[in-house]
């Protein structure tokens, strides 16, 4: 017997609305003729991704996504747009002439991925019975025990990136 709780109507409706929003905003990112509008569309995509993470029971990653991407990375992008004096209004010169090649490449890639995913996961459901939130303590235990070495490597990458960005962008 199929219970209403097995179909998860509310979650599926939420997923559909957020996914539609993300796809429309993604089209805005790749098709907009205005750099600032494209950057602001990316904010919608990132906020939608954070909402999908909540649907996937990953609250800590969702909060990190909002703080790091929407808070920090987007500000960096808008500063980049301003400092390189890209036009704030419409700009006819944003695309090169590769659309005739890029569109078949992207469509073929999408077709292959949908075919493979459809064959591999057909109608496999996400588990509903043992859903629990991903406790931050569990994640931090993972980071500081089995994934400690990648964490150190990542710290060095961030340090190198900070120093490199200052050295590159500094006016002598």
Partner 1 sequence: MLVNQFLILGALLFCMGVYGVLTRKNAVMVLLSIELILNSVNINLLAFDRLNGGSDGNVFALYIIAVAAAEVGVGLAMVMLIYRNRKSISLDDLSEMKG
Residues in 105-124 at the binding interface with partner 1, rule: CB under 8 A: 105-107, 109-110, 113-114, 117-118, 121-124
Residue 86 contacts partner 1 per CB under 8 A: yes
Work out how close the CB of 1 gets to partner 1 at its nearest, in angstroms, rounded to a whole number: 19
- The token pair at 65 is 């996504």
Work out how close the CB of 97 gets to partner 1 at its nearest, in angstroms, rounded to a whole number: 9
Give the Å distances, CA to CA, from 5 to 1, 40, 118, 128, 132: 11, 37, 24, 9, 16
Which x/- pattern, by CB under 8 A, does the window 128-157 give for partner 1?
Answer: --x---x---xx--xx---x--xx--x--x
**Taking CB under 8 A as the criterion, which residues in 38-67 touch partner 1?**
38-39, 42, 45-46, 49, 52-53, 55-58, 60-61, 64-65
Cβ of 119: how many Cβ atoms within 10 Å? 8
C-beta separation of 128 from 8 below 8 A? yes
Distance CA 172, CA 162 (A): 18
């Amino acid at each position: 017997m199929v219970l209403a709780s097995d179909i998860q109507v509310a979650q599926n409706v939420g997923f559909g609305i957020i996914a539609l929003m993300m796809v429309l905003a993604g089209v805005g990112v790749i098709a907009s003729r205005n750099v600032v509008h494209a950057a602001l569309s990316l904010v919608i995509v990132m906020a939608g991704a954070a909402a999908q993470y909540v649907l996937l029971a990953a609250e800590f990653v969702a909060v990190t996504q909002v703080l790091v991407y929407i808070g920090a990375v987007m500000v960096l992008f808008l500063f980049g747009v301003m400092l390189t004096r890209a036009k704030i209004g419409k700009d006819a010169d944003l695309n090169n002439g590769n659309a005739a090649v890029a569109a078949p490449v992207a469509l073929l890639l999408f077709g292959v991925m949908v075919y493979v995913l459809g064959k591999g996961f057909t109608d496999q459901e996400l588990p509903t019975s043992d859903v629990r939130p991903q406790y931050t303590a569990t994640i931090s235990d993972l980071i500081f025990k089995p994934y400690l070495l990648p964490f150190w490597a990542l710290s060095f990458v961030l340090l190198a990136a900070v120093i490199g960005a200052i050295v590159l962008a500094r006016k002598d």
